[in-house]
Structure 1
Amino acid sequence: MRGAPLALSRRSFLVGSAVTAGALAVGCGSGGGAASDTFTAAFQGSGAGEGIDPGVNTLFIDEARMKAVYDGLFEVDSAMAPIPRLAESGEPNADGTHWRIALRDARWHDGKQFTARDVLYTLSRVLGPAPQRPFIAASSLDQVDLPGCRAVDDRTVEIALKQPSFEFLIALSVYGTKVVPDGATDFRRPVGTGPFVFESFEAGRQFTAVRNEHYWGGAPEIGALRIVSAEADARVNAVQGGEIDYADNLTPSAARTLQGRPGISVVSTPHSGIYFFAMKTDRPPFDNPDVRRAVMRMVDRAELLKVALQGQGEISNDVFGKGYQYYADLPQHEYDPDEVGRLLRRAGVRDLSFDLFTAPVAYGFVEAARLFADQAAACGVRVNVVLGSKDSYYTDALETGHLTMGQSGPLPIPNHFASRLLTGAPQNRTKWSDPEFDRLYATAQATRSPEARAEKYRTMHEILHDRGGFIFFATTNWHSAAGERFDRLPTAVPNSHDWARFDQVRVR
């Protein structure tokens, strides 16, 4: 997820082109579930951009389908800590350069036994050439020394690393690491080990699957799962009208509209969406750490949350991962125009002016940008809000401009460091490059004790909190709504194992 890329991946909260509400009118698939035993869930769609290859497809709706069909060796819980799935356990050697993974007794949907060969093939697929689209997990698994990996036996695999890492299980938990069968190349009719067996898929419309009676985790209680693509308004209308059983990712206003409606339950999961400004630290004016410190004090986080995000969430403090493993609780940055002036004078900067590049790609982006411009003006700084194309914004924002915006989903903090902040990281939106930071990360990875690693990560957070390029100003809730026919619905943060998993759902 991500690791997970910051915003182009399914770990970010942004999806592509519009999908009409007509997707909701498509009939249920055939197969193992009668109409009363079929659970229908609606997610934000992206038309032809959707897919079902776990190595390359990145949208939230893609991940919901993949959770039904596939399993990973490990996944992360709501605190972003790894938990075993197809793996029963994972143990490092003394120096953290080899990991021995004990595998679960599981079978593929076609009846074949899951073995170590499937794991080795999945790793080689991710790390090998990708002729059309890059594999999501390629950067996270880059530390794997593929020639040194081996199958000890059918139920044991040994993974060699290029350098020590006692956090390697996190790399095996990121999106793009779900295990596929040895030799699999055609994903039009995917075969997995997951709780549901693939039946049909039409990009931009619907996916259907039926209960896996032999699932290693226990057969689901529902007979069939249907996942449909729909825009936000269509999801709200459909769950109200009983056309669907579950609507994912609702806006705050939609959640308020549905709250208290007879036969509808609304769940709001905190620490699910992470809003930020990103200063490019490799170019003026943000190559000066005092200017970055000044901008951190230029943001009235409470006002941004209240006005631009309708009060739905909590203020943040310029470090990533509130509520997750390894989060550093540091003194809160406050809006302070006087301190802004002092820091800019120390930096030797007068009449500061810069562009803020944004686009209407997520709820509240443009409103937050304009409100921040007003806050900066009260500090004597001019911010020019520049609107980009929503279709190409996140690609453009990697290189364009000096200050940009973004929104991230949850992911493990070490993965956030590796994918976004190490020198040369693939999603380094702030162009951050700090030798001390890089050394601390490498040392943390090679440190066996979790407590000692946490201290290294705290120091890295302190560096970012003092002079980093990210301004994380709010965490928002993730809203979902469901009808009353089913219970035991998922309520976890996005990107975690329990998010969008429907194998525990049952008819009331």
Structure 2
Amino acid sequence: MPTPLLLSRRSFLAGSAVAAAALAAGCGNEASARTDVFTAAFQGSGAGEGIDPGVNTLFIDEARMKSVYDGLFECDETMAPIPRLAESGEPNADGTRWRIALRDARWHDGRKFTSRDVLYTLGRVLGPAQKRPFIAASSLAQVDLPGCRAIDDRTVEIVLKEPSFEFLIALSVYGTKIVQDGAADFTRPVGTGPFVFRSFEPGRRFVATANEHYWDGKPGIGELRIVSAEADARVNAVRSGEIDYADNLTPSAHRTLAGGSDLDLVSTPNSGIYFFAMKTDRPPFDKPDVRRAVMRMFDRRELVKVALEGQGEVSNDVFGKGNQYYADLPQHEYDPDEAGRLLRRAGVRDLTFDLFTAPVVYGFVEAARLFADQAAACGARVNVVLGSKDSYYTDALKTGHLTMGQSGPLPIPNHFASRLLTTSPQNRTKWSDPEFDRLYTAAQATPEVEDRAAIYRTMHEILYDRGGFVFFGTTPWNSAARSGYQGLPAGVPNSHGWARFDRVTAR
């Protein structure tokens, strides 16, 4: 690290007192530490942060967990599964049993990684719920735990309750990183990942050192520090040299830093997916024609231009652009006349509804108010209701007729399973469609990729026609780093390449 906390201390402290304390604690005095210590700042969440891979979901949590743990599989840039702790995964003829060959790897305490660790992790996720629910419990609900077994130390057989030729996706998503057999205390976690845990203070900082015996190669930096910092603090700290890497910068912050000769900027396209969610289980959105009408009330180009500061691309009410199984359908356009015709066909006059949002992500409130104006031109009245940023995502599951959200990329089958089946735990649109559920089950039981893609396209077409999501824009993921490094993370969120620092080295 460079000499700590000099020129920009006042402006940095103004950005975030908590972050400043964390960064001050994390910086050393030796000029030579620059090549040994790498400090990355992410959006913080105070005491809500954690390092249990089964339950913690924040971006900063994921960054820490990527350094300590590995999954059997993780997602590549197209959200397709790639092997990590697993060397391969093969289904039987009907897709009800998967044989997973494991990599030769060791835990940080020197123990060998074996099939017992995999079975313990599955049992933990599918066992009794903790105070906070296990993230992957729904994704892995298809696992028939009593039928699973260790063939030997490096081969495990996972049995499913029903056929699934997409099961490797379920092993790739949040909440599926492998923990050590018997692990119950995650205050000092032991993993197989590229860095060995040293210390963690929620809301402040995490420190880990290089795993000299990492199965995928020794990291290029000796010590990784991940600190919590608000948006302004991240910008000020990377500009002044108090940190080496700042994650998730707004478009305006990215433009502000663009002129700095001592900074390297990374902008990964197609990374943030902005949406509105209609609750389809209640008036007025229980009528398909009302939902179709609302889809025509959005001027998506204007929303991207104004609310997202012009940094992004127009989306089209189809999730997962650029990913495996994406359906390229004709663009939904802003069409007040068609919106009016559909409302008349639905027998709805004087359409009025609440739009519940909060300033949790840049552009939310601006997009909400701009949409209210666009809907007014179509004869609809939208009441923008602001909630608390601290509890918004929990409140939005049950509050309002229309809500907002932002998602990182996900495998499309996982998006369907976690958000759009009748039993999905994160069903923000309260979508329940027997035909959709049946098609998802059929896709899982279909062996050939091309045939599954055709079924998924039909599911996209149903949602595009009468679903509850309006995906209006995709944004890049912006980050900045001090010059002098190579191998900086450049993957989309939720992919293997996002927030991985084991390939960072000094130039």
Say if 1:73 and 1:87, in contact at 8 Å, map to a contact too: yes
Q: What is the rounded CA distance, in whole Å, between the counterparts of 2:28 and 2:42 in structure 1?
A: 17
Q: Contact 1:28 / 1:226 at 8 angstroms: preserved in 2?
A: no
- 2:69 maps to what in 1? 70
Residue identity matched to 1:364:
G
Separation (CA, whole Å) in 2 of partners of 1:56 and 1:18: 27
Q: Report 1:109-124 matches (<5 A).
A: 109-124=108-123
Q: Secondary structure at the match of 2:334?
A: coil
| Structure 2 match to 1:138 | 137
Residue pair 2:26, 2:225 contacting (<8 A) in 1 also: no
**Shift of residue 36 of structure 1?**
3.1
Q: Where do 4+ consecutive residues of structure 1 move more than 4 Å? A: none
Q: Quick one: which amino acid aligns to residue 252 of structure 2?
A: S
Whole-angstrom CA distance in 2 between matches of 1:485 and 1:190: 31
Give the Cα–Cα distance (whole angstroms) in 2 for the partners of residues 447 and 119 of structure 1.
26
Once residues 79 and 130 of structure 1 are traced to their aligned partners in structure 2, the CA distance between those partners, rounded to angstroms, is 32
SS of equivalent to 2:141 = coil
> 2:26–2:205: 8 Å Cα contact kept in structure 1?
no
TM-score, structure 2 as length reference: 0.95
> Structure 2: how far apart are the matches of 1:377 and 1:137?
41
- Cα offset for 1:253? 0.5
- SS in structure 2 opposite 1:198? strand
Q: CA deviation at 1:130?
A: 2.4
Once the two structures are superposed, residues 456-477 of structure 1 have per-residue CA deviations (whole angstroms, 9 ceiling, x without a partner) of: 0000000000000000111111
The alpha carbon displacement at 1:29 in A equals 8.2
Which shows bigger deviation, 18-27 or 489-498? 18-27
Please state how far the C-alpha of 1:372 moved relative to its aligned partner: 0.3
Could you say what secondary structure the match of 1:65 adopts? helix
- Give the secondary-structure state (helix, strand or coil) at the position aligned to 1:474: strand
1:57 Cα deviation after fit? 1.1
Residue 483 of structure 2 corresponds to residue 484 of structure 1: yes
> Which ranges of structure 1 fall in alignment gaps of 5 or more residues?
1-16
2:12 aligns with none
CA distance in 1, matches of 2:168, 2:27: 38
Residues 294 and 339 in structure 1, CA contact (< 8 A), matched pair in contact too: yes
Contact persistence 1:489–1:505 (CA under 8 A): yes
- Equivalent residues in 2 for 1:381-392, closer than 5 Å: 381-392=380-391
Identity of aligned residues (%): 82
Q: C-alpha deviations, 1:292-342, integer Å up to 9, x for none?
A: 000000000000000011011101101111111110000000000111111
Shift of 1:373: 0.5
Secondary structure in 1 aligned to 2:243? coil
Q: Distance in 1 between matches of 2:213 and 2:403?
A: 48
- Please give the TM-score of this superposition, normalised by the length of structure 1: 0.95
Per the alignment, residue 335 of structure 1 pairs with 334
Give the Cα separation in 1 of the matches to 2:27 and 2:136.
33
- 1:245, 1:486 within 8 Å by CA — same for their partners in 2? no
Provide the aligned length of Structure 1 versus Structure 2.
490
Deviation at 1:400, TM superposition (A): 1.2
Contact 2:27 2:242 in 1 (8 A): no
Amino acid at match of 2:312: G
Report whether the alignment pairs 1:234 with 2:214: no
Say whether residues 1:102 and 2:101 are aligned partners: yes
Aligned to 2:421: 422
Partners of 2:163 and 2:117 in 1: CA distance: 24
1:412 and 2:408 are equivalent in the alignment: no
Structure 2 partner of 1:251: 250
Q: Which amino acid aligns with 2:397?
A: L
Q: Is the 8 A contact 1:34 1:223 kept in 2?
A: no
- 1:378 maps to which residue? 377
Q: Secondary structure, in 3 states, of the residue corresponding to 2:298?
A: coil
Distance in 1 between the 2:28 and 2:175 partners?
Answer: 27
CA distance in 2, matches of 1:374, 1:176: 40
AA aligned to 1:393 is Y
Which amino acid in structure 2 is aligned with residue 366 of structure 1?
V
Task: Tell me the equivalent position of 1:221.
Answer: 220
Partner SS, residue 150 of structure 2: strand
Cα offset, 1:224, TM superposition: 1.1
Compute the displacement of 1:348 (Å).
1.1
**SS of 2:248 mapped into structure 1:** strand
Question: Aligned pair 1:263/2:275, yes or no?
Answer: no
1:83 counterpart = 2:117? no
- Equivalent position of 1:183 in the other structure: 182
CA distance in 1, matches of 2:433, 2:128: 30
